[in-house]
A and B are shown apart, each in its own frame.
Chain A
C-alpha cells in the first residue's frame, strides 16, 4: 500500500538552509511533489520531480530523490520568514489516475 512519512517539525534561523525529508513506500511512483500550505489556505505546488531523475533545482529549491531508499528531500536555500508554513510531499503512481498520496506534513518555523 501507499504510505508517505515526514518528520513533523523543523526550526531554522533566517538565512540558513532548510532540509525537509520524506520517505515513501510505493516503488511505482511516477512523480513526486512538494506542496506548501500557509495557515488557513489551500496547497501551493512548489516543485516536482519525475521518478527517473535524481535531482532538480529551481531557484532556492533543490529536490533530491533517492529511488533505491525511497527518500525524497527538499532543500530551501537562504530560508526566509515567509517560508514558514507546512510542507507536504506527495506521490502519484503509474496507473493511479493521477491520485496524489500526501505525507503528514512538516511544519517549518523560521526564526529571526
Chain B
C-alpha cells in the first residue's frame, strides 16, 4: 500500500541552527500539505502545494520557515533559525487533485523536532 514518506523521524537541534524536513507524497498525488502539531494540540496547516505552486501559506512564519516543491513531487520544509517554540511534530500529507472525495488526505508518520 502506498504511503507518504517523511525523514528524518526524529531531529534534535540547538536553537539558532537550521533544520530541514523531507516529504515524499504518494505517487500521483498533486496536492501536498505540511502541518505542525504542537504537543497536546491538533495539527495546524503551515503550507499547501498544488503541484509546485503554493496554494496557502497564510500560517507559515515566513521570517524563518520556507517550503519548496520544485518538481511538484517531493517537498522540503526548512526552519532557519530554529527557536525553542518550534519544537513540535511536523506532519506531511498528500491528496489527489480532482472532484468528489479525491481530497482525502493521507498522512505520513511525521518528524518529531526538539529544539534545545
Confirm or deny: B95 has a beta carbon within 8 angstroms of a beta carbon on chain A: yes
Within 8 A of B (CB), among A57-112: 88, 90, 92, 97-100, 102-105
**A4 is an interface residue with CB less than 8 A from chain B:** yes
User: Is B107 a contact partner of A44 (Cβ separation < 8 A)?
Assistant: yes
Across the interface, B43 reaches (CB within 8 A) one of A40, A44, A45, A102, namely A102
Contact across chains for B103 and A92 when beta carbons are under 8 A apart: yes
B107 CB contact (under 8 Å) in A31, A43, A48 = A43
Contact A99 B48 (CB under 8 A): yes
Number of A-B residue pairs with CB-CB distance less than 8 Å in the complex they form: 52
Asked whether A104 and B48 contact (CB < 8 A) given A42-B108, A98-B103, the answer is no
User: What A residues does B14 contact at CB under 8 A?
Assistant: none
Q: Is B109's CB under 8 angstroms from A99's CB?
A: no
Interface SS, A side: strand
Residues of B contacting A98 in the complex (Cβ-Cβ under 8 angstroms): 31, 48, 95, 103, 105
**What chain B residues lie within 8 Å of A105 (beta carbons)?**
40-42
Q: Which residue of A lies closest to B59 (CB)?
A: A99
Task: Mark out the residues of chain B between 87 and 107 whose CB falls within 8 Å of any chain A CB in the assembled complex.
Answer: 91, 93, 95, 101, 103-107
A-side interface size class = 20 to 34
Is B19 positioned at the interface, with any CB of A under 8 Å from its CB? no
Known: A42-B108, A43-B91, A43-B107. A100 touches B45 (CB 8 A): yes
Identify which of A35, A42, A102 contacts B44 (C-beta below 8 A). A102
A90 near B42 with CB under 8 A, answer yes
Would you call B25 an interface residue if the criterion is a C-beta within 8 Å of the partner chain's C-beta atoms?
no
The answer to whether A43 and B43 touch (CB under 8 A), given A98-B95, A98-B103, A99-B48, is yes
B residues at A contact (CB < 8 Å): 4, 31, 40-45, 48, 55-56, 91, 93, 95, 101, 103-110, 112
* A residues with CB within 8 A of B: 4, 31, 35, 40-45, 48, 88, 90, 92, 97-100, 102-105
